[in-house]
Amino acid sequence: MLTWYDDSSLVVDWLSDRTKGRNRAVVCFYFDFAARNEQTATSMLGSMLKQVISGMERVPEDISRALQEQKKAVSGRKLQLGDIVKMMQLITSWQPTFMVIDALDECTALQRCRLFDSLKEILEKSPDARIFVTGRPHISAEIERRLAGRVKSVSVSPPKDDIIRFLHVRLGEDETPDAMDGTLEADILEKIPGSIPEMCVAAMVLNTQSYICS
């Protein structure tokens, strides 16, 4: 069984391996419920912008010039969401970029709305941009409504046997084994697998009909 973060890590690793040496960027962001008031559309896209730029061996002159002009327009103030979107449009229109967004359901409804609007703007200017999103099933309809025509969704549900194997591994790593007895372990193995919801949706947002690594 994989946690959301583990699952997205596998996606990022797979994409990174497939895009190595192909002038394509892979960036990611993980929404955390505990930090939902601090994690905004601005901070999320700002993080991705930093990842894209820091991953470039060389920033092309025209892109660098355009970014400098955008920075001048900011005039020393903190980057706003619109500024970040424009910079992302510039970069992703030049360099195909895969954006992995994990646990989108942990983002507040207001920030999701702002994020979807921003992503739509980026996709409109960047025909080679791709977005991979994970979240619980209830956000599926919202994703498809706000990014209509660009989404392919897959429901993911872990087999019960995988959950039990995962629990056995984690119980074996328990740092306080004396606190565990056979009754408690049996109770854990019985109740937790039954409480796992029928899982989340992975939504692949495409700008064209081609697949993610075509």
What is the gyration radius of the CA atoms in the chain, in angstroms? 20
How many CA atoms within 13 Å lie on the side-chain side of 200? 19
Q: Indicate the average pLDDT of the chain.
A: 79
User: What is the identity of the amino acid at 209?
Assistant: Q
CA pair distance 154, 183, nearest whole angstrom: 37
For the whole model, what pTM was predicted? Answer: 0.72
The domain ranges of the chain are: 4-158+198-205, 159-195
Instruction: Please check whether residue 36 is in contact with residue 109, taking contact to mean a CB–CB distance below 8 angstroms.
Output: no
Question: Residue 5's pLDDT band (boundaries 50, 70, 90)?
Answer: very low
Mean pLDDT of 138-151: 80
| pLDDT band of 197, cuts 50, 70, 90 | low
pLDDT of residue 107: 94
Query: What is the distance between the alpha carbons of residues 127 and 140, in angstroms, rounded to a whole number?
Result: 23
Q: What single letter denotes the amino acid at residue 85?
A: V
Give the distance, in angstroms, between the CA of residue 97 and the centroid of all CA atoms in the same chain.
13
Q: Architecture of 4-158+198-205 per CATH?
A: 3-Layer(aba) Sandwich (3.40)
Per-residue pLDDT reduced to its tens digit, 19-44: 777 778 899 999 998 898 899 999 99
The 10 Å Cβ neighbour count of residue 3 is 11
Sheet containing 97-102, strands listed edge to edge, beginning at the edge strand earlier in sequence? 25-30, 97-102, 130-135, 201-205, 151-155
pLDDT band at 4; cut points 50, 70, 90: very low
**How far is the C-alpha of 185 from the C-alpha of 49, rounded, in Å?**
45
87 vs 159, higher pLDDT: 87
| DSSP single-letter state for residue 148 | T
What is residue 111's predicted lDDT score, i.e. its pLDDT? 96
Q: What is the pLDDT of residues 91-140, one digit of tens each?
A: 888 888 999 998 899 999 999 999 999 999 998 888 888 888 888 878 88
The backbone region for 149, taken as left when phi is positive above 0, alpha when psi lies in -120 to 50, beta otherwise, is left
Confidence (pLDDT) at 46: 92
Predicted local confidence at residue 212, as pLDDT: 38
- Mean pLDDT, range 144-155, rounded to an integer: 76
Residue type, 95: Q
Higher pLDDT, residue 149 or 102: 102
132 bridge partner residues: 100, 204
